[in-house]
Structures are given as C-alpha cells and as structure tokens.
Amino acid sequence: MPTQSSPSILYIEDNADNQRLVQRILESRGYLVQLAADGPDGIAQARETRPTLILVDINIPGLDGYETTTRLRGMNHLQGVPIIAVTADGREGARARALVAGCDGYITKPIDPRRLTEQLGEFIGGKREELPQGAETPLLREYSHKLVERLEQQVRELKAANAELQELDQLKSQFLATLSHELRTPLTSILGYLNLFERGTLGPLNDAQGQAIDVIARNAHTLTRQLNNLLYLQEVRSTQIKCASVSLYDMVLRLVVEQQARAADLGIQLESALQPTQPYAGDATALEQAIRNLLDNALKFTPRGGYVRVTLHDDGQRVVLRIEDSGIGIPTDALEKIFVPFYQVDSSLARPHPGAGLGLAIVKHVIEAHNGHVSVRSAAGSGSVFTVVLPRTLRNA
Ligand code: ADP
C-alpha cells in the first residue's frame, strides 16, 4: 500500500483503460499515482507538486506528449525528475524525438505489466537514455520546425474563430439594437398616456386607480431604463462621447431628488452631501445614464430600512462621486466581474431584482471614456460603496 512517503508517479494519459492499468500495477507496488488527462492538466499538477517521476503518453490530444515534456523541462523545480515517454511508435525516430523534446527515456506500448515497475525503478535510480553523437542538432531543428508549424496552424485557427465570433457579436448587436428600437416605440406611447393620467388630463382618478397608475408608471420607467441601457451599450461602443460643459452638481442633485419618492416607497433613507462643482467638460447624457445606473442599483439592492448615501466632491483636479448603500453587498469573487456586460451575481438575495446586467458595464465604459475610473468596495452582506473619479484632463482645465 502506498504511504505519504512512497515515490509518486505523475501519469499523463487520456485513455482511461491505460490509466487504470498503470495505476493498478504501480499502486500494488507501493507507488502513489497522480493522473492527468492531458498536457495542460499534467503541467498544472506538476506545478503544484514534484513527483518522483513523470510518465507521459506521446499521443495525447491538444498539447502532445513531446510538447508537454518540453514545457515540463522548462520548470526549474522539476530538474532531475525523470520524464519518460510512453509510445506505441517503436521506431528509432520516435525514440529520438522523445529524447530531443526532453524525455530521459521511453517505454513502448502495450505496457508490459511484469516489467513496468522495474523499468521505472531504473530511471528513478538514475538511468538516462542518450542520443547518438551528432544526432541532436538536426533532430532539434526538425522539432523546432514542427513546433512552429503547429503554432502557425493554431494562430490561423484562432484567427478564423475570432473572425467568426466578431461576426456573431456584430449580428447580436444589430439584433439588440433593432429589438430595443422596436420596443421603445410602443413604450413612448404608454409613457405619454401615463403622463396624461398623472396630470389628470383624462379626468379624475380615484385612489385605487391612482395607485394602479403609479405601479404601471414605475414599471414602465424601469423598462425604459433597461431599454436605454441596451441601446446605449450598442451606441457607446461605436460612437465617441460628445463633450460639452456640464454641471455635475446640478445633475447629481436632480437625480437624487428624482429618486426620493422611489426611495420613500421602498423604505430606504436616501441622503446626499453634495459640494458645488466647477463646470466639467463631458457628455451629459452619458454621465447621467451612468450615475442613474449606480443610484438605481444602490436602491435596488438595499432592503427596506437601509440607507443610500450620495456624496459629491470637487477638489479642482478631479470630481469624486461616491454612492454608498447598506444593501446586500457583493461577494468578493464577483467584484471584478460585475462590470462585464450581462453579468449578474447569482445569489438568492440578488436574483429577485430585475435587470439585464448592463448597468455597470455602461458605467465603466462612460467613466473610462472620460479618462475616469470607477471602483467598488463591498462584501456580501455588508453594503457597497461605488466611487467614481473624474479627473479634469486638459480639455477640462
Ligand atoms: P443589473 O441591471 O442586473 O443591475 P448591473 O451591471 O448594474 O446589472 O450590475 C451587475 C450586478 O452587480 C447586479 O446584477 C448585482 O448582482 C451586482 N450589483 C451592482 N450594484 C450592486 C449594489 N449596489 N449592491 C449589490 N449588488 C450590486
């Protein structure tokens, strides 16, 4: 039975029958056996441990056994660890190629169960096979050519796959843009009629009707925001931001005031401490959309009884906006991903909230287009703080 101190063999082989056979033979002789199904897996395992010996099947998919060996040979901590090729190709050329790639020897298939442990024991004991004098240089040259050819082929395949993906992405963008436009037209008419109801133009509403209209209006506005995000994402990718003088103070103040009623409905305390700002050169529509998205998220992900605080500060060099909430927070491992289009945290707390996962992608795009930066500090269960820093570049001086 193998123990912690038994010699360990890393066996890189994709065929499950061969894996089982070798594992059974070696474990019955007291070896520890680690299995890897392909080259990258073997390399990853070898990075973590230092096996006593590595056995590599030459004919594995993806990175073949030669290439895997060359990569393993480049790892300093594996110096002195024998790497043995296993191949069904018994010809002299195959053996020489294995040695040139960095193997210390090779074993032919089918594996002879009676001899395997003895063969490995010899290599562990120091046996090394060598190439005949003068054979190495031409073989190395041939091996390098093969590697470059393979690389070339892979680059060609990757380029083709990339072109196909770009085309698909383009189609998807066109589809989203068309869909959003199609949906926006009827929505504009719904919003128009809602406005007539809200202003009483179509006659007085009783309380129940007024409440129903409020619910419809809230949902219609959410839908509008989502559609705007969708359309915006398509547009901002292809268009330049338009710079004009903007009062960020006025903008943030207006957005906060706009959200007060919603916050009250949700039972959330919406507080703000806004410092007047100097005129800022930026794209008002884009910035408004970004700030609205941050505020919308803060309200969306904060339970009743919580708070959302907005602060704005201008030190002459840069304008800093902070939106802090006491909400459900974001797990640490999701912090990087939330800015990726369509990403949403998959948790029972976040799931019930509507959204398309586009809000923060737009925030990042807009803020970076202004040479700014958006960052987040959060942890699951302890609220979130989003900080937007908009530097005054030369244009903004
Ligand atoms: P969505 O439209 O789904 O809100 P976003 O891109 O704005 O998309 O946000 C991506 C995800 O990041 C959200 O689905 C949510 O899981 C998480 N998130 C964003 N802001 C907050 C916040 N203030 N508190 C908790 N989670 C948040």
The protein residue with its alpha carbon nearest to ligand 1, atom 12, reads 338
Distances (CA, A) of 145 to 94, 133, 152, 258: 16, 21, 10, 67
In a domain, 94, yes or no: yes
CA of 275 to the centre of ligand 1 (A): 27
Does one domain contain both 299 and 230?
no
Q: Which ligand 1 atom sits closest to the C-alpha of 226?
A: 2
Q: In total, how many domains does the chain have?
A: 3
Nearest alpha carbon to residue 82 among 131, 46, 36: 46
Q: Which residue has the tokens 């056996």?
A: 33
Res 347: pLDDT: 63
Boundary residue ending a domain (238, 258, 292): 238
Q: Which ligand 1 atom sits closest to the C-alpha of 350?
A: 16
The protein residue with its alpha carbon nearest to ligand 1, atom 19, reads 297
Task: Reply yes or no on whether the pLDDT at 396 is more than 80.
Answer: no
Does one domain contain both 308 and 203?
no
Boundary residue ending a domain (190, 214, 238): 238
Mean pLDDT of the chain: 90
Task: Reply yes or no on whether the pLDDT at 139 is more than 60.
Answer: yes
299 Cβ below 6 A of ligand 1: no
- 102: domain range? 8-131
- Whichever domain contains 212, its CATH number is 1.10.287
Local confidence band at 319 (pLDDT 50, 70, 90 cut-offs): very high
314 Cβ below 6 A of ligand 1: no
Q: Which ligand 1 atom sits closest to the C-alpha of 360?
A: 6
Res 136: pLDDT: 87
Local confidence band at 397 (pLDDT 50, 70, 90 cut-offs): very low
Does one domain contain both 199 and 182?
yes
Q: Which ligand 1 atom sits closest to the C-alpha of 359?
A: 7
More confident call, 92 vs 158: 158
CA of 372 to the centre of ligand 1 (A): 20
The protein residue with its alpha carbon nearest to ligand 1, atom 23, reads 298
Provide, rounded to the nearest whole percent, the portion of the chain with pLDDT above 70.
94
In a domain, 397, yes or no: no
In a domain, 385, yes or no: yes
Res 231: pLDDT: 79
Check: CB of residue 357 under 8 Å from CB of residue 342: yes
Is this model's pTM higher than 0.85 or not?
A: no
In a domain, 291, yes or no: yes
The average pLDDT across 62-76 equals 94
Does one domain contain both 17 and 35?
yes
Kindly give the pairing relationship between strand 53-57 and strand 8-12: parallel
Distances (CA, A) of 351 to 226, 332, 343: 16, 17, 12
Does one domain contain both 259 and 387?
yes
Does one domain contain both 234 and 248?
no
CA of 296 to the centre of ligand 1 (A): 9
In a domain, 136, yes or no: no
- Whichever domain contains 28, its CATH number is 3.40.50.2300
Local confidence band at 174 (pLDDT 50, 70, 90 cut-offs): confident
In a domain, 36, yes or no: yes
338 Cβ below 6 A of ligand 1: yes
Residue in 230, 233, 338, 358 to alter for ligand 1 test, most ligand atoms within 8 A of Cβ: 338
Boundary residue ending a domain (238, 271, 291): 238
The average pLDDT across 322-334 equals 94
The protein residue with its alpha carbon nearest to ligand 1, atom 20, reads 297
Please tell me the distance from the alpha carbon of residue 84 to that of residue 345, in angstroms, as a whole number: 46
Task: Reply yes or no on whether the pLDDT at 350 is more than 50.
Answer: yes
In a domain, 396, yes or no: no
Sign of CA dihedral 348, 353, 354, 357: negative
Does one domain contain both 228 and 162?
yes
Q: pLDDT of 295-308, one tens digit each?
A: 999 999 999 999 99
Does one domain contain both 71 and 106?
yes
Q: Which residue has the tokens 């960020």?
A: 248
In a domain, 335, yes or no: yes
Res 348: pLDDT: 64
C-alpha torsion angle, residues 301, 304, 305, 309 (rounded to 10) = 30
Does one domain contain both 248 and 375?
yes
- Whichever domain contains 318, its CATH number is 3.30.565.10
Task: Reply yes or no on whether the pLDDT at 3 is more than 70.
Answer: no
328 Cβ below 6 A of ligand 1: yes
Range with the lowest mean pLDDT among 112-121, 222-231, 241-250, 355-364? 222-231
289 Cβ below 6 A of ligand 1: no
Does one domain contain both 230 and 253?
no
Res 176: pLDDT: 79
Range with the lowest mean pLDDT among 106-110, 213-217, 292-296, 352-356? 352-356
Does one domain contain both 174 and 123?
no
Does one domain contain both 267 and 378?
yes
